[in-house]
Structure 1
Amino acid sequence: MNDFTPGPRNRRGRPQMTDAQQALADELARRAAQMRAESDGELPIAEAVELAAFRMGVEVPQTAHESGDET
């Protein structure tokens, strides 16, 4: 099992997250890091985050390259 612990957060210029949002973000990061470690680094971190979010039932924003709209 991966012993991921989120590091210190730099929130300068960003809105504060609620405790529930922070807990969700921490769990998402932990699961993504675990999936990536289990793939021996073969799974890119962006894909690991998307997969972890999918498995948790959380929606992630689509990036321009994923939706095919690069304008």
Structure 2
Amino acid sequence: MTGHDFTPGLRSRKGRPQLPPDAQALADELSRRAAQIWAESDGELSIAEAVELAAFRMGVETPQTQTDHRSEP
């Protein structure tokens, strides 16, 4: 791995339910991969774009379809 290793920090989940261990592990991996992609992008990607790309690469993103609401003449 490159010098962009990421370890998720402690979370403040006051008032929020805890994620099941498998979901938390997936969230941590997504966070780590997104941080790595973002760091390697040299400003070309926003962190949101890096998260989307990481999710896509992990195969956890559901396909997003855009609907054009404009009327056809």
Answer yes or no: same fold by TM over 0.5: yes
- Could you say which residue in structure 1 is the equivalent of 2:41? 39
Residue in 1 aligned with 2:31? 29
Identity %: 73
- Runs of 4+ in structure 1 off by over 6 angstroms are none
Paired amino acid for 1:55: R
Q: Which has the larger radius of gyration?
A: 2
Unmatched 5+ stretches in structure 1 = none
**Alignment partners' CA distance in 1, 2:9 and 2:43:** 20
- Aligned length, in residue pairs: 64
CA offset at residue 59 of structure 1? 2.3
Could you give the per-residue CA deviations for residues 21-49 of structure 1, whole angstroms, max 9, x where no partner exists?
11000000000000011111321000100
Structure 2: give runs of 5+ residues left out of the alignment.
Answer: 68-73
